[in-house]
Amino acid sequence: MTARIQEVAEWPSPKPIPALKDYRASVHWAQHAPILLDNGSSELRAGFSTCAGDTSPLYYDNIVSKFKDRKRNTNIVLCGNDCYVDAQGRAAIKNAFDGDVVCGFDTMECMLDFTFGKLGIDTDRVEHPMMLTETLCNPEYSRGQLNELLFEAYNVPSVNYGLDALFAAYQNGIRDDGLVVSAGKSTTIVVPIVQGRGVLENAKRLAWGGALASDFLLRLLQLKYPNLPQRITSYESQCMMEDLCYVASDYDAEIRALSVPENMAAIDRVVQLPFTPPERKEKTQEELDKITERKKAASQRLVEQTRVMRQEKALQNENDLQYYTLLREWKEKESPEEYLQRLEGEGFNSERDFEKTLKRLDEGVRRSRGEEVVEEDKTPPAAPLADVPDAELDEEGIKEKRRQRLLKAGYDARMRARAEKEEEQRLQAEAEAEERREQNENPEAWVAKVRAQYQDSLQHIQERKRLRETLPDRKSAAAQQRMKNITALASEQEQGSGSQRRRKRGDDDTFGADDSDWAVYRSISDSVDAEEEREEQTKLVSLEAKLLAFDPTFTADDTYAAMLAKKTRLTNTFIRGFAPPWDPEDVAQYHQVHLNVERIRVPEISWQPLIAGVDQAGVAELSRHVLHGVDAPLRARMARNVLVTGRYATLSGFDTRLASALRASLDPATQFSVRRARSPRFDPWCGMRQWVTDETDTFRASSVTRAEYEEKGEGWFKEHPWGI
């Protein structure tokens, strides 16, 4: 399987926008044609209503960059795509919008100056009526401030506002009843159209759009690749979202399917971030030969060092053996208490530890000399003086008696340990025989029993793993309970009346308040957990071997190791893809991001906003709510004209998912149609032009003139079918 790698999108290059020539000789000047301004929060589109039907408007990003050029010591103002000219310009980019509401009117004034200049207007005032788009439920203050800017700064004769989603519907032929779903940069709105008029009081709005989706994708990638050497910009994230993300037809089913690494690899897309490859100098054959010789010499030195270390170790063992042999002779020369005190002075806890060390040194020296190690004699040592009273023995006899009793006690202890081991082996053999009997008499019940034991062991391991993850947290319930158990155990082991009096007085226990107490706690926890985990793993492997041998439904893919490997493989596929394999020597792979689950997770927020913590209904639910808010005949007419528009709605599968959601909520006999706008980018502007041309009288009657502005104030507005 070959990975699909594509380069990350670069910043838009500034492109010249030709200004309109011969403005005073054009039909726009002669007819005082209205200026149409689709004032989107991401892109501004402008043009005259008298432009030809196949002419596209001027369009550029609705941004302004103001900064000071230190080399020239001048203030620079850039608008539109010119803001991307260099890093200094990109760092100072500002937008006049807060969400989709105009709030920065200084920035808006710069954009209007830039726009009027590109339209070729060279007069002191703009003597053209203005038609602008605005967002749904635009605040009166924002519209009033924009009115003041247009009337006071540019002396426009009149201003009119409309909703971009409704103009897009007008351009796509919806003139009677219909439903418009517009997914823009900041919001997604659902607007019903009844008898050629937008019913805004029944419109719905979701506070989620393309900008929030691209920011969510950026945060997911930052979480997924915390050590990525290249910083991902918001523009790169936006391009990834628009080019690679798509709306899943069945999100839950696709997410479950992605639990298989091969399915995740199938939708994986690799984005290559820019990087500078390191300069690699090719070595000559002579240099390679020198490197080989140096490695061979280093290997020989290592072998020689190992040989010398072994000789030194053997010599040290012989010296230690000789010293400890001499030390052992003191056992016959002094009392047992003095002898034990002498051993403790040499670092031994007991005579048994000393004997073990001496035996280990003797075997090591014999092996280093090449001598055969003689096994321990299993015959009991002779102890004729063990039962003789001390009164009948002289001093030498008493010492010999002690020696014989020590040898006999050691032999008896070894025999008891051997007997316990043999008894354990016998019990184990009986248990195996009983298990074989159960297996032969009722194989199905035996397999079910082993299955239950395996599931129980597996559950214990998973529970232990969960506890191990929570124990380092001091505030977790498991950590607090274990600390209480350790404290209670320490309290029970205290001896004497002093501890009892403390417990009666009810003194507070402060164990655990200090960091050193928790260090002791962690050491106890780790040692105990490690031993228990090894026992559980051994038991689990034994049960898996039985099931693999006798249960045909249990395969190697069902083992615990296989499940861990599958999970690890799925994680690796999620982070580093499936192919090509991860190569730590490849610098390019360190500058790559893999999009797989994110491709459907980010667009899914429009349908399930709770994924991003947005406590609102999704697009499908809002659309159903709007449709079911009218009577059945009107609902049937509206369902036949469902239009999807907006830049964010251009994601693949958006209209298909909406159609599937609406089909499930409508009557089976209802005919409905969900279609995309012909040109989501320019349809609002083209719809404005078409409406102004077709309904010029309505446009003029619904425009606010300068006289009305001066008489009734900046907040005065008029309604029309395609606006407020």
pLDDT tens per residue, range 490-544: 565 554 444 444 444 444 555 555 555 555 545 554 544 566 777 888 888 888 8
Residue 47 lies in a domain: yes
Whether the per-residue pLDDT at 63 is higher than 50: the answer is yes
- Return the bridge partners of 79, or none: 64
Whether the per-residue pLDDT at 467 is higher than 80: the answer is no
Do residues 207 and 201 lie in contact, with contact meaning Cβ atoms separated by under 8 Å?
Answer: no
Q: What does the block give as tokens for 377?
A: 């004699």
| CA atoms of 700 and 389, how far apart (whole Å) | 133
- Is the same domain home to 644 and 685? no
- Return the bridge partners of 76, or none: 67
- Is the same domain home to 161 and 298? no
Name the residue range of residue 319's domain. 286-375
- Is the same domain home to 334 and 272? no
Residue 51 lies in a domain: yes
Answering whether pTM is above 0.85, one says no
Residue 473 lies in a domain: no
Residue 558 lies in a domain: no
pLDDT of residue 169: 95
- Is the same domain home to 253 and 319? no
CATH of the domain at 119: 3.30.420.40
Helices (H), 65-184: 87-91, 105-118, 140-148, 164-171
Whether the per-residue pLDDT at 141 is higher than 90: the answer is yes
- Is the same domain home to 45 and 87? yes
Q: Give the number of C-alpha atoms closer than 13 A to the C-alpha of residue 212, restricted to the C-beta side.
A: 21
Q: What is the largest CA-CA distance in the chain?
A: 144
- Is the same domain home to 645 and 706? no
Residue after which a domain boundary falls, among 375, 398, 429: 375
Residue 12 lies in a domain: no
- Is the same domain home to 51 and 149? yes
Q: How are strands ordered across the β-sheet holding 64-69? A: 74-79, 64-69, 93-94
N residues, the chain: 724
Residue 483 lies in a domain: no
- Is the same domain home to 620 and 707? no
| CA atoms of 645 and 675, how far apart (whole Å) | 9
Three-class DSSP category at 393: coil
User: Span 331-355, mean pLDDT?
Assistant: 83
- Is the same domain home to 50 and 115? yes
- Is the same domain home to 28 and 158? yes
Residue 605 lies in a domain: yes
Mean pLDDT of the chain: 85
The tally of domains found in the chain comes to 3
- Is the same domain home to 661 and 684? no
pLDDT of residue 240: 93
Sign, CA torsion 287/288/289/294: positive
Residue 153 lies in a domain: yes
- The pLDDT tens digits of the residues spanning 635-683 come to 999 999 999 999 999 999 999 999 999 998 888 888 889 999 999 999 9
CATH of the domain at 603: 3.90.640.10
- Is the same domain home to 218 and 250? yes
